[in-house]
Structure 1
Amino acid sequence: MSDHVDGPRSIGDPAADITDLFAFTSPENPARIVLAMDVFPSAGEDAIFSNVIDYAIAVRRVTVAGVGNAAKFQPEADGIRFSFRFETLKRDTAGKAIQHGVCKLPDGRELSLTVNEEKGASTPQGDVRVFAGLRSDPFYLAWDIAVLKKLPNLLQHTNVLSIVVEFDTRRVLDLAKGSLFGAIAETVPPQQRNLLGPAISRIDWVGRPEQTNMRLNNPAMSAITDLRDLWNQQTPFAISKVLQPLFLQRLKDSHATWDMLDGKADWPPETIAATANVFLDDFLLFDVAKPINDRSHLEIEKSTLSGRPYQTGGGRTVDANSIDILLTWLVNKDREFLQGGATGATKPGIKVFPYFATPNTELQIVDETVELAATPDDVWSLIGQFGGAWHPQTARVNLTGAGIGQLRTIQMIDGQQMVERLEAIDDAKRSFRYTNIAGMAASQFTGTLEVKPKGSGSVVDWRVQFVATGKTDRAMKVIVSTLLKTGLESLKSRFGAAK
């Protein structure tokens, strides 16, 4: 998923897991450029930035050093860097938890900011403004890409933490030396020696979308070694010469696999090799002197590989359909556009700073029912006890307290533990309501279990609502639905199914 969850190390530190990188002209002011990075896939409403990680966007000027099968984009040795550090949570005068941070600008100035402050922060000179906070994930993936099967957006309703930098193009970039640039984003831990081995140089970095999850770890290829963590340890703009042959071969093999996914060969071997050489130098190309729009993504690379001058500013906008643009190029070399099962993200980008849509906070609902032959009272006598030991996935239940506010700690047969609290119960109406305190990757998690008469039997309705945190809505719905269905289906063997 773009750069979401792109290796074992980033999975263990989601706040340092970069999901996307963007470079585009400001919709508010064409004289300004926007650079943005997103981190923390499926961020919950209380997600915060790490206070021990440097979040950085680095930019270097690039020249076209070759075209056609000799295509090459050569970055300069030096560049500019926007680096962010965040503090631990504090409380304001109203008792609300807030997080502050500092952006170090390329010229050494420091700009203080408050996370989730909608207007962001600006320098006194007005040449730079920044934002950091929770936003709707602008990326969308609507394919089972290993078999080119269309799906709904797999990231529907998910959020990320966004870092946005907007600056006056001519005041920050010296355009007299050229207007083509390459950008990368990276997350760098403190440079302390690990007692069990060498220091970790970085946790994650990204240039173009899908370098790791689609190109280096192609899901259409079987029995391959996962190179993503090894790749993430490389130095941007300077991939290890020792490891270059390994990465180049994987890029070529991956491209050849994509090419044949539709059963047609569109890419000659020499062009695949040339493309691999270009993508080995992984940085997001953008030209500030040319138009950057929703369709210009990868146009600079495509044109240069085809031996013709590029016409757009490349880059990547908030609403760019980056997955379908890349997939179409890899599979059929733009012979026929491949549109996935969605045409946009959960929310489109906005035209005003900070350009990324507000977070998704809509409650998701899972509702399952079962009709039984037994009377409502008979069924309620079993499941109306908050303990929940009747559920087949329950190994053990410990109760704390009694009545409203009672806690149940459930040990599942798979080892997972959940803590839930009784919020309301009505024996006359045969219903109770509970909330999840721990154990579910969700907030605002509320469940209601109710038994009603139906004919000579009864119907049990189990309804849950939540906001996913740490998992996609799609994944959480599958988990919750499976839990509910398994429990309700088990009641048929006890009470018989309604006829």
Structure 2
Amino acid sequence: MSARTAVSYRPPRRLALALPLMLAALPAPARASDHLDSPTVIADPRADIGDLYAWMQPDGRRLNLAMTVVGHGFSDRLRYVFRIDSARRFGGADASVEIVCRVPAAERVECSADGIDAARGDARGEAGLWGERHRLRVFAGLRDDPFYNNVRGTRAAYQVAAAALAAGAPLDAARCARFEPATVRAIAEQWRHTDGDPARNFLAGWTPAALVVQIERKAVDRGGPLLAVWAAVESSERRIDRAGRVLTGNALLGTLDGEEASDRLKERYNAGAPADGAEFAPQIERGLALYDAFDGRCGNALLAASEPARRYRALARLLADDRLWVDSRRRRCQRPFAVELAQAAGRRADRGDCGGRTPLQAAINVYRSLLVDASVDGVSDGLQRDEKTPSVDRFPFLAPADAAGYSP
């Protein structure tokens, strides 16, 4: 049963606040952090980006990029794109590089990096495929999905919140719910367990198609050392899907809207670019209000303002520019979103980290925690690692799939 058929009625206004996030946690489409996507994306899993990863190779010489695709293969009619902006200041884009890959057949990939290098051939082997100038390296094939998620525990936590809202939990001036302590405890307890038992990863064994790219740092930092990465899948007519940080495009858009309005919003979002993000900031503000309520304290989310009317504005604007930031000067990459935390939130402790997102990190828990209480560990779904261990320094980084081969 898909998330779209799980609930068919129009909820009361208070329940509507929580319902889309509950639906985002239902098992059928939640095969990656980019779930509950638009109808166009759901129609073709080969156009559906699951997750985006970006981090520095520990020697500091190369940028590593990985895009998982929900379908078990690639389409020969689509192009898979990494875009890297470089800047001297956070939020900027002084120069840009586009890495465009096509997969005309299972045994052939064609990737070009804006005249810097190009790789063409069979990229399914563990060593990948080097470009003509050895500045670019590519892998394209099935891998184990490094993303892990206690889907059922997350759904149960949202259901606790939804029940409290339906029972009349009051909303403050910023539309943040004032949950009772017992509700807060129940949300946290459900989130960390699966049906009362230890948390279980519902994505265990999932093997999406993976496009992994390694590119020389000097090729992508022409505008400055701060790199902003996003990914897209495009047809000849338009952009179908895009991804940056976890969750933003799905869990925070259309939170108060019905299915049709939410679908239209997500279609428009996917067709756009991070530079168009200001349009979506007001919608994101509305979605942030629910997360802020989960710990029983309103107004303590990341970048929260004291004035209710402006409480979520700064964070919404930050998230609306949905690029994943990497500091190419740093070799240690342990904290997801460290660049955002250091640059936008002024957290000095994160300045020595490259940020981005590696396949080893529980980035979704960090993301949720920042939205709930501005911490990096306040929220947990009870999982800390995948069943298979990916690598941050050994290409192609993602662990081998249980079943070899894929069909484009």
Instruction: State whether structure 2 residue 317 is matched by structure 1 residue 277.
Output: yes
Q: What residue ranges of structure 1 are gaps of 5+ in the alignment?
A: 66-72, 89-97, 192-200, 363-468, 470-499
Q: Which residue of 1 aligns with 2:179?
A: none
Q: CA deviation at 1:292?
A: 4.1
Are residue 52 (structure 1) and residue 77 (structure 2) matched? yes
Q: Of Structure 1 and Structure 2, which has the larger fraction of its residues in helix?
A: 2
Corresponding residue for 2:102? Answer: 85
Give the counterpart of 1:314 among 352, 355, 364. 355
Q: Write the distance in 2 (CA, Å) between the matches of 1:8 and 1:279.
A: 23
Contact 2:34–2:51 (8 Å) recurs in 1: yes
Partner of 1:173: 220
Other-structure match for 2:399: 357
Cα distance, 1:30 vs. partner? 3.3
Unaligned runs of 5+ in 2: 1-31, 160-186, 195-199
1:217–1:323 distance in 2 versus 1, CA, 3 Å: farther
Q: 1: CA distance between counterparts of 2:321 and 2:277?
A: 11
Where do 1:210-229 residues align within 5 Å? 210-218=247-255, 223=258, 225-226=261-262, 227-229=265-267
Aligned-partner residue type, residue 66 of structure 2 = A
Deviation at 1:285, TM superposition (A): 0.6
Aligned residue number for residue 2 of structure 1: 33
What is the match of residue 329 of structure 1? 370
Distance in 1 of aligned mates of 2:117 and 2:134: 13
The 3-state SS of whatever aligns with 1:75 is: coil
How far does the alpha carbon of each residue in 1:213-269 deviate from its partner, in whole angstroms, 9 at most, with x for none? 222255xx67473122221011x232176xx1xx21211111111101232112434
Whether the 8 Å contact between 1:21 and 1:207 is mirrored in structure 2 is yes
Q: Matches of 2:277 and 2:311 in 1, distance apart?
A: 23
What is the match of residue 169 of structure 2? none
1:343 matches 2:384 = yes
Letter in 1 for 2:113: L
Report matched runs for 1:7-156 at 5 Å: 7-27=38-58, 29-40=59-70, 43=71, 47-64=72-89, 73-76=91-94, 78-88=95-105, 98-107=106-115, 109-142=117-150, 143-144=154-155, 146-147=158-159, 148=187, 149-150=190-191, 151=194, 152-156=200-204
1:138–1:334 CA distance, 2 compared to 1 (3 A): same
Q: Are 1:303 and 2:328 an aligned pair?
A: no
Which residue of the other structure, out of 288, 299, 303, is the alignment partner of 1:255? 288
* Other-structure match for 1:411: none
Please list the CA deviations of residues 146-178 of structure 1 after superposition, one character each: whole Å capped at 9, or x if unmatched.
2443332221111111111112212x1345x42
| Residue aligned with 2:357, SS | coil
CA contact (8 A) 1:136 1:358 kept: yes
Please report how far the alpha carbon of residue 344 of structure 1 lies from its aligned counterpart in structure 2 after TM superposition. 1.3
Inter-CA distance 274–63: structure 2 relative to 1 (3 Å threshold): farther
* Aligned equivalent of 1:206: 243
Q: CA deviation at 1:319?
A: 0.9
Number of residues of Structure 1 aligned to a counterpart in Structure 2 = 322
Question: Could you tell me whether the CA contact under 8 Å between 1:104 and 1:110 is conserved in 2?
Answer: yes
For the pair 1:161 / 2:209, whether they are aligned, the reply is yes
Q: Is the 8 A contact 1:57 1:82 kept in 2?
A: yes
Point out which structure has higher relative CO (alpha carbons under 8 A, 6+ apart): 2
Larger Rg: 1
Q: Higher mean Cα deviation, 122-131 or 8-17?
A: 122-131
Aligned partner letter, 1:228: K
Q: TM-score, normalised by structure 2?
A: 0.73
Cα distance, 1:308–1:251 mapped onto 2, change above 3 Å: same
Residues 426-465 of structure 1: matches in 2 within 5 Å?
none
CA pair 108-190 structure 1, distance change in 2 beyond 3 A: farther
Amino acid of the structure 2 residue aligned with 1:356: L
Greater strand proportion:
1
- Secondary structure of the equivalent of 1:20? strand
Return the letter of the residue paired with 1:38: T
Which amino acid letter does the alignment assign opposite residue 158 of structure 1? Answer: W
